[in-house]
Structure 1
Amino acid sequence: MTEPRRPIVEMPLRVRYHECDGQGIVFNAHYMAYVDMCAFEAEKALFGSHAEFLAHGTDVVVAEANLKYRAPARYDEELVVSQHLNHLGTTSMIFDFEIRRAGTLVLAANIRYVFIDPATLRPAAPPDAVRKVYAALLPEG
């Protein structure tokens, strides 16, 4: 039996009033902000800080985002955003994100990040030290 994969991080957050639209639910663009916040928390967990990640001479940019809205979230609800590494390529990686409310899936996202050279902003393979950190997160098998 395969064990469920463990998330890199699980980031709790509470929906703020200004994040809700006229229908009383979280406006769709805010979910991407929640995912982005989680990505920085994962970077901090893996490298210590964003600055320490950048010190390796690499950075990442979002190249593709796919969000699937499953249930609405409303003001003052407590959510948990989790992140898993799905794929590690030569110059890119794909993460799966989930946003849950009390175990109910609110949103599933699949985000492709491209490693770049910070000086040129062009795609570039990450240094071996960075690749090793991410490779250790891939499911075995």
Structure 2
Amino acid sequence: MTEPRKPIVEMPLRVRYHECDGQGIVFNANYLAYVDMAMFEMEKALFGSHQEALARGVDIVVAESNLRYRAPCRYDDELVVAVYLNHLGTTSLVIDFEITRGGDLCTEVKTRYVFVDPKTLKKAAPPAPVREVYAALLPAQAD
């Protein structure tokens, strides 16, 4: 039996009124803001802060995101954004996000990030110590 995957971080948040559209549902673009906030929480958990990650010679930029809406979120909902490492490439990584309300899945987001040099912002493989931090988070592969 496969163990359920464990999130790197789980970030709680409460939906604010201005994040909702005229239908009273969280406006679609705000889900990307939620996952962006969760990425900074992941960096904090892994490296201490975004500034510390930069000091280690690494930054990441978004290359693509895919969102799948399962259930609407509304004003004052208490949500949790869970962050999972899905894939680690040579110069990129794929992060899965699950946004839940009361344990029920509301939104799934898959985002591909590219590692860049913080000074030049050009694509670059992360330094070995940074890569090791991410590699330790990869899900175990079934034999």
Measured against the shorter chain, the TM-score band is: over 0.9
Q: Secondary structure at the match of 1:122?
A: coil
Partner of 1:43: 43
Partner of 1:99: 99
The normalised TM-score by structure 2 is 0.97
Q: Deviations over 1:104-135 (max 9, x none)?
A: 11100000000001222111000011000000
Cα deviation for residue 140 of structure 1 reads: 1.5
Distance in 2, matches of 1:107 and 1:32, equals 11
Q: Deviations over 1:30-52 (max 9, x none)?
A: 00000000010011000001111
Count of residue pairs the alignment pairs up: 141
Q: Deviations over 1:41-70 (max 9, x none)?
A: 011000001111100111100001001111
Distance in 1, matches of 2:122 and 2:4, equals 35
Identity, % of aligned positions = 72
Q: Secondary structure at the match of 2:132?
A: helix
The normalised TM-score by structure 1 is 0.98
Partner of 1:25: 25
Q: Secondary structure at the match of 1:72?
A: coil
Q: Which runs of 5+ in 1 are unaligned?
A: none
Residue 34 (str. 1) matches residue 34 (str. 2): yes
Q: Secondary structure at the match of 2:18?
A: helix
Partner of 2:130: 130
Partner of 2:15: 15
Distance in 2, matches of 1:26 and 1:140, equals 34
Distance in 1, matches of 2:28 and 2:139, equals 30
Distance in 2, matches of 1:117 and 1:43, equals 16
Distance in 2, matches of 1:24 and 1:51, equals 36
